[in-house]
Amino acid sequence: MGGYIIPLALLSAMLRFWSFSRAKYANGWDAYFYLVQVKSWIEEGRMHSADASLIYPLMRLIVWFCGGDYVLMYQVTAAFLAGLFTLAIGCLGKNTRRQMPVFLLVSWSVFSPHLSYFAAQYPKNLLGLVLLVFFMGALHGNDRMPNDRVIQSHPVIVFMLLLLNYFGHRFTFVLTVSYGLVWWFSNNKSRINESLSALKKSDGLVKVEWKMGGLISLVTAAMLVLFALLFPGLFHWADIGRLSGTFSYTPQFAPWSFVREFGIARLSFWWMAELIGLTLLFFTGVILILFQKSVVPPVSRRLYPLLLLLLFPFLEWSFTGIAYRAFLVWVLLCPLAIFCIPKKFELAAALCLLIAAFFSWKSYTPGLHDPDYARFKGITDRVGGYFEQHPVAATESLPELIICHNALAEFYTFSTGADALPWQPEYPVDSTRLWRLAAGISPQLLKYYVANEQPVVVVGPQYSLLPESLWQRAIRRATAIQDTAFLNIARSWYNPYRVRPGWLLKK
């Protein structure tokens, strides 16, 4: 392995940590969900929501090194995974004689503003992506390419990386299996054709080989199903429920959809340049594949179908949908398939990226990309102060459950230890112990709809605390007079109104 890879992986992690640590709170919209999980595991001996993902043992180890500081744990974990991604890219090209393309890819990962955003927002996904790239590197070790040294990867290593990704992340596990199948078919075309011909001739040895292959596949599938039943939070057939509402008759182009919906104001010059550059290089590669296939290296030939699938235009675009997650992964996998940069420019491009990395690390801006956790802290403190004066019961001050939007719910649970949920509960809760933090609706309008009944407590700008029974009364009265402005906000992500779907409960 090139001697530059480990130093650049450390630089990648260090730059991300500098970026993330500018925030007083943990980074990302789901950060406090992870913090709740690890805190509950350490203090209560079990997770708040059972999950066998490898991200939690990693975070528990890191929080020990961080002296019990959960916010620092999250920032260190995100930065560490970004550095590990850089290392994985270097390992992907470990057998290649010509190291300049590898140096270019590693330099890009040090520079990438997109990797910074992905690490801060989706550490669990990034762990799965790291395992996917290591898996690709292990398979590449079995490729017999004319200009490369052949270092055989032991099948056990390949299988273990596949299994680790099963415990890493569901989406990247599907990508890992897909890439593995594409690799196997592309490397065994002639052997498969010969085997099928021999099978038609009733060759007994070939029949045994096919039966053994089928048996191994069946045992592996059965083992993965058993793991899904025994360990919570893993890939499960119930996840198919996530595909509900995924497809659309109207096509969209993910890079443009992302820029339009995310907002140019939240994209730094460096991040925008990265997205535009990768998109142009990607489609240049598509043209070369169509018209000059002989110049395309095997790794690119196998990865391009996967990348095209990640950009499938008939996926419904939303920040909570599969199209969004697929695009985020596409940006990080895309450079691994790009082969159309002229050789004479590779070194210059790599050096430019490394220099730019010392500026692009500021592309992740907590004030633009993280929730307003300072506001959430104020809201949480005021909620606690109210219930100290008005306890819901003699034995407990806080409600059994508060309904509020995502991120706020997780921050509230982490800070107080009490339950908050960004869904309507599917289980019965005493009406006196079920409250809501309504968002985006003026307290005066709420008091009007509940006939000035108390309590409707102002806990922050456009945030009100009230019993869920009063909230439902306000919904009914707004529906009766067809107040669409009120109802549109009341039935948005700001104010959870759906019951948790069955596929999520099966997790």
Mean pLDDT of the chain: 85
Q: Which residues contact 426 (CB under 8 A, 6 or more apart)?
A: 499, 500, 505
Distance CA 328, CA 24 (A): 26
The whole-number pLDDT of residue 155 equals 76
The whole-number pLDDT of residue 38 equals 95
Q: Residue 451, by phi and psi: left (phi above 0), alpha (psi -120 to 50) or beta?
A: left
Assess whether pLDDT exceeds 50 at residue 148. no
Can you give the pTM of this predicted structure?
A: 0.89
Residue pair 301/289 in contact (Cβ under 8 Å)? The answer is yes
The whole-number pLDDT of residue 302 equals 82
Query: Which has the closest alpha carbon to 462: 334, 369, 355, 375?
Result: 375
Assess whether pLDDT exceeds 50 at residue 13. yes
Share of the chain above pLDDT 70, in %: 82
The whole-number pLDDT of residue 255 equals 96
Q: What is the pLDDT of residues 199-214, one digit of tens each?
A: 455 555 444 454 555 5
Assess whether pLDDT exceeds 50 at residue 366. yes
Assess whether pLDDT exceeds 80 at residue 152. no
The whole-number pLDDT of residue 189 equals 62
Token pair listed for 227: 């793991």
Q: How many alpha carbons fall within 13 Å on the CB side of residue 222?
A: 6
In this prediction, residues 255-259 reach a mean pLDDT of 96
* Number of neighbours of residue 423 by Cβ within 10 angstroms: 15
Q: What is the pLDDT of residues 239-253, one digit of tens each?
A: 555 566 678 888 999
Assess whether pLDDT exceeds 70 at residue 50. yes
Q: What is the pLDDT of residues 105-134, one digit of tens each?
A: 999 999 999 999 999 999 999 999 999 999
